[in-house]
Amino acid sequence: MSRFVRGTIEVAVAMAVRGTYTYALPEALAPIAVAGARVLVSFGRRRVTGYVLGPGAPPEQKEIKPVLEVLDDEPIFPAAMIPLFRWAADYYKHPLGAVIQTALPGGLTVAESPEWRITDAGRAELDADRLPAQEARVLAILARKRVGARLGSKVPREMLSSLERRGFILRTQKLQTGGAKALQVRWVRLAPGAPADSSLTPKRRALRDAVAAAGELPVHALAAQAPHVRSQLRALEGSGHVEIFERRLYRDPFGEAIIPDAAPMLTADQEAVVAGVCDALGRGFRSFLLNGVTGSGKTEVYLRVAALAMAAGQSVLVLVPEIALITQTERCFRARFGDQVAVLHSGLSAGERFDQWTRILNGQMRVAIGVRSAVFAPFSDLGVVIVDEEHDSSYKQEGGLHYSARDLAVVRAQQSGAVALLGSATPSLQSYYNVRCGKYSELTLPGRIEARPLPEVRTVDLRRCRDLRGPGRFISAELNRALAETLGRGEQALLFLNRRGFANFPVCSACGSAMRCRHCDISLTLHQAANAYRCHYCGFSLPGTAACTACGAGQIKRLGMGTEKVEAAIRALFPEARVARMDRDTTRHRGDILRLLKGLREHAIDVLIGTQMVTQGHDFPGITLVGIICADLSLSFPDFRAGERTFQLLSQVAGRAGRGDRPGQVILQTYNPEHFSIRAACTQDFTAFYEQEIAFRKALGYPPVTRLIQLRLSGRDARSTRQQALALGGELQALRAADAGFAESIQILGPIEAPVARIAGQFRWQILIKSPQSAILHRFVDQVLAAHPHGTTRQRVRLAVDVDPMFLM
């Protein structure tokens, strides 16, 4: 830990400003203002949180502002992580202070924001009724209460400063400390000694009965089912029928004790893989890609490698793509390593996350498991970084700091001299390309544990079912028969369709228009359970009884399908079966996923219908049949990764079958049985898929053979957004033409309107910049951004940068 006696320090401020700043360090603060500590500093007219990075540049003649306060007695991140933050800021074109803010657990930022209040002169002026209507309205609001930053965004700046100049209002700065505290959720249960319900209205009685049946349940779970639930509950609470209480959001996974396990015997393949990684541990940076078929026992390899690193006194970071998967991974790691395991994810309260963070920082926890943001876990002695399901696009953060946690994990391993171990049954093209280029070493697990066979995959051509009516259109005779046989044997089935809702293409029978979102350039999806049309992009919704959004006619045909429609069909075909659905609509709360997984494990569910949530590495030992309702949904996306995503999704879902002691079968329904992504998924032949796909990427010059940076423009006004996009395009072309190096290596695609041209009222344009050489590409974009330092072009059009974009929609 470096301590600076006096002089200056380098500080990154927690704001959207580029670069770092030098502050003078008063002698009294010097002992605690060490790298990794937070400080309070003046910035412009405000006081903001800053992060100490190290000694500052030697003071020049001009006056340097002093540090006002040191906010921590101990650093809140290790100095060893500063190079990672600097790398991420530079590579992802994001302000350094904002990168650190993203990395830290929430609730640690002290920010100052403006607050306006009315003065006595302002009150007198308001009473005298002499002001123009708009100014009077502002004063009237302020006469009732003080207003914060919101006011500045609603009222023109000139009017506010004019009112301020005339002495009618006063602007002050309010310091808001970010309080990291536990998240409480409101629950409801019957009140002890609740009165008889004879006097209740039918609605309230139904609600009371629902509470009685559940015992205890979160208020939001009830509120999601019907309107006005909250007020009805308040009334029931008032009349002494129910009581509402608070409970912490986080519960232990499964709420069960975890029984310590002993390491099982490894297969010869697992043994070889562990030995391969073991040789590299403690000898500097090395990257491995563990390519292992579904069910081949990758988790056991992770556990062994983690144990070896820990035995050598080093720490272990484990990334998984989704919160739902943490449960399973956490269970395995806790069973082996007990309470040395920390878990970091958004399901924890801010207080709990901060607690986990501090224990990692203090060296009390040697293993951390988490999603994306856990790549920033504050270890200073990393031995190995494990990225499970490395192909999963959930590792890419959209919005804010657009980072890839998988790529950052490799950079972090490199900077720490650690081993990076990326695992998948369907590696990303990027990672496998790195194997072929010699950047990563490949490790393989070619067979399932205990020599279980891979499931047999049968393809059904959906074109044959096109003219059928009813469920026969999407539940083929083959699938129907296989379901009947599976259920007859008392086994479980999984049906996969990567689209939620009931009908995703509701069409007016009078005018033929699709029901469209008011704010997006996209059609609405009908959700039958909620009896509503919903936009999956912005959340806009219309009641299920709504008339055509184009002509007002009332007859809407429910074309297109989603998991709800499949569920209804299965319930009709197999009324005896216990059917459950797992998609974003049925798993809004952490407990929901656990309940479904538990139901499957304990065989309280016969048929599970789900979206891609069910593909992500869950281990369902009782499932012997997997039905893929329509394999083609992701093929038609206007994205060069459509084939790769389809292959990964289908192989992963097929791999859910037959993971217990009984063999599995897969029925894959498709309109494109001869498409190579689908054929390769049927045989789970990754290499065949890779060879064909990489040839296509080479021919068209797409990643991984080139690098991409996408510039996105969005604005509320269609014309100015278009104009700014075209102007920026012109700027790029001029910059390219002016430099021989750029002209040779840089390719500019666009500006074009985004495939979804409007989302949430924002018109969207994009420019794709491509180059085989990463360094030149970054130099080019850095020059472009230097001309647009605030992330905007003119006329309120926002400019966002996405380095290595995953989604081109």
The closest of 474, 427, 425 to 631, measured between CA atoms, is: 474
Closest CB to Zn ion among residues 264, 552: 552
Cα separation, 696 vs 528, in Å, equals: 41
- Least separation in angstroms between CB 510 and Zn ion: 5
Backbone angles phi, psi at 226, to 5 degrees: -155, 160
| Number of shown-chain residues binding Zn ion (CB under 5 A) | 15
Whichever of 541 and 747 has its CB closer to Zn ion, that residue is 541
Say which residue the tokens 């069973």 belong to: 335
- Mark 547-586 with x for binding to Zn ion (rule: CB under 5 A) and - for no binding: -x-xx-x---------------------------------
Q: Distance between CA atoms of 24 and 599, rounded to whole angstroms?
A: 60
Of the pair 218, 761, the CB lying nearest Zn ion is at 761
The contact mask relative to Zn ion for 688-717 (x = CB under 5 A, - = no) is ------------------------------
Pair type for strands 382-387 and 315-319: parallel
Nearer Cβ to Zn ion (472/544): 544
Residues 690, 432: Cα–Cα separation, whole Å: 8
Binding mask 296-335 vs Zn ion (x if CB under 5 A, - otherwise)?
A: ----------------------------------------
463 or 518: whose CB is closer to Zn ion?
Answer: 518
Nearest approach, Cβ of residue 535 and Zn ion (Å):
3
Alpha carbon distance 104, 77 (integer Å): 8
State how far the Cα of 615 lies from the Cα of 650, in Å rounded to an integer: 8
If the CB atoms of residues 85 and 540 are measured against Zn ion, the closer one turns out to be 540
Smallest distance, Å, CB 515 to Zn ion? Answer: 9
Instruction: Give the nearer residue to Zn ion in terms of CB position, either 242 or 522.
Output: 522
Query: Least distance to Zn ion from the beta carbon of 768, Å?
Result: 24
C-alpha dist (Å) from residue 599 to 565, 579, 593, 757: 22, 11, 10, 41
Q: Cβ of 683: how many Cβ atoms within 10 Å?
A: 13
- 386: DSSP letter: E
Whichever of 74 and 398 has its CB closer to Zn ion, that residue is 398
CB of 724 to Zn ion, least distance (A): 23
**Rounded alpha-carbon distances, angstroms, from residue 563 to 202, 408, 515, 529, 610:** 31, 35, 19, 11, 7
- Closest to Zn ion by CB, 24 vs 760, is 760
* CB of residue 527 to Zn ion, shortest distance in Å: 14
Rg of the chain over Cα atoms, rounded to whole angstroms, equals 29
Taking the least distance from each CB to Zn ion, the nearer of 307 and 550 is: 550
231 three-state secondary structure: helix
Binding mask 662-681 toward Zn ion (x if CB under 5 A, else -) reads --------------------
Phi, psi of 285, rounded to the nearest 5 degrees: -70, 135
C-beta of residue 414 within 8 angstroms of C-beta of residue 84: no
Query: Which tokens in the block code for residue 537?
Result: 């992009």
Asked if 362 and 355 touch (Cβ cutoff 8 Å), the reply is no
Q: How far is CA 774 from the centre of its chain?
A: 26
**C-beta of 244 vs 538, nearer to Zn ion:** 538
Nearest alpha carbon to residue 111 among 149, 56, 156, 147: 149
Residue 630 CA: distances (Å) to CA of 166, 484, 498, 625, 635:
67, 19, 8, 15, 11
Q: How far is the CB of 396 from Zn ion (least distance, A)?
A: 22
727 in contact with Zn ion (CB under 5 A): no
Minimum distance of Zn ion from residue 544's CB (angstroms)? 16
Structure tokens at 166: 């005339």
In the three-class reduction of DSSP (H, G, I as helix; E, B as strand; rest coil), residue 378 is classed as coil
| Cα torsion angle, 328, 329, 333, 334, sign | negative
Peptide bond into 751 cis (omega under 30): yes
Say if residues 395 and 321 touch (Cβ distance below 8 Å): yes
Compute the least distance from the CB of residue 541 to Zn ion, in Å: 9
Considering the complex, state which of residue 239 and residue 541 has its C-beta at the smaller distance from Zn ion: 541
Residue closer to Zn ion, measured from CB, 541 or 672: 541
DSSP string, 590-649: HHHHHHHHHHHHTT--SEEEESGGGGSS---TTEEEEEES-TTTTTTSSSTTHHHHHHHH
CA distance 543 to 530: 9
Q: Which is nearer to Zn ion, 48 or 520 (CB)?
A: 520
Residues 440-499 that bind Zn ion (CB under 5 A): none
- Structure tokens that stand for 198 in this block: 């004879």
Convert residues 64-93 into a mask of x (bound to Zn ion by CB under 5 A) and - (unbound).
------------------------------
**Between 219 and 520, CB nearer to Zn ion:** 520
By CB under 5 A, what part of segment 491-550 binds Zn ion? Answer: 508, 510-511, 513, 517, 519-520, 535, 537-538, 540, 548, 550
CA distance 303 to 264: 11
Task: State the minimum distance, in angstroms, from the CB of residue 557 to Zn ion.
Answer: 11
CB-wise, 515 or 708, nearer to Zn ion?
Answer: 515
Least distance to Zn ion, CB of residue 549, Å = 8
Beta strands 532-534 and 525-527 are: antiparallel
Write down the least CB distance from residue 552 to Zn ion, Å: 7
Measure CA of the first residue to CA of the last residue in the chain; give whole Å. Answer: 45
The distance of closest approach from Cβ of residue 525 to Zn ion in the complex, given in angstroms and rounded to an integer, is: 11
Smallest gap from residue 518 Cβ to Zn ion (A)? 7
CA 654/CA 456 separation, integer angstroms: 9
Site of interaction with Zn ion (CB under 5 A): 508, 510-511, 513, 517, 519-520, 535, 537-538, 540, 548, 550-551, 553
